[in-house]
Structure 1
Amino acid sequence: MHELSIALGIVDIAEKETKKAKKKKVELIELEIGTLAGIEFDSLDFIWPSAVKNTVLEGAERRINIIEALAKCGDCNHTFKIKNVYDSCPKCNSYLKSILKGKELLIKSLEVS
């Protein structure tokens, strides 16, 4: 379950940024996570309370913006949504593509007090 290490990494960043801002706690954390980031959202939800206990994130509101994956075909230049990295172009069936978005795993914002 790598979601634990991801959650602990988020806690570490939040702790550092809160300290840098000379504040004590986080009121809101906003995350952007792509559908191809390899995150199991149910696992992240399950582990979150344990990971943030006794940290600046304990009690903080958490918002997750899910970024849908988008690719561009390398053969026909068609842009299309994908669910898996191995999906083919729906227009020409080529597997040659560039992933434009969907791999994000970002802390978009922190509201601290």
Structure 2
Amino acid sequence: MEIFDIDKAIAKAESELAKLEAKRNKVLEKLNQLNLLKDSCKPSASEIFPASAVLEITKHSPEADKIALFLSLFRGRTDVYPRRFESSRTGKSGYQPACRNESHLSKIGFLNNGE
């Protein structure tokens, strides 16, 4: 192999390396943008635990304030809520999920085992 051929191969390798570095920089920029987007979607600690609400709520606080705090901490389905029950057989009580649209569910046989 002659010096001219080696110089040509070196130039080609340097050109390929420059292209790879440019592509790497583009991918890094895209990754940074995606991470920024991901971070912007996360709720901040102050949104999850509002300091003013957490510090002011005590066992003596009004019920409405306690409910507002609970709802701010536990976001979820608004059509499902707990329903208290008491067993006539055992006397034990507890909570079960209830749906605001139970009449529709019973019509399609979802409740009462399809009865």
Alignment TM-score, normalising by the size of structure 1 = 0.20
More strand by share: 1
Q: Is the radius of gyration larger for structure 1 or structure 2?
A: 2
Q: Which has the higher contact order (CA 8 A, sep 6+)?
A: 1
Higher helix share: 2
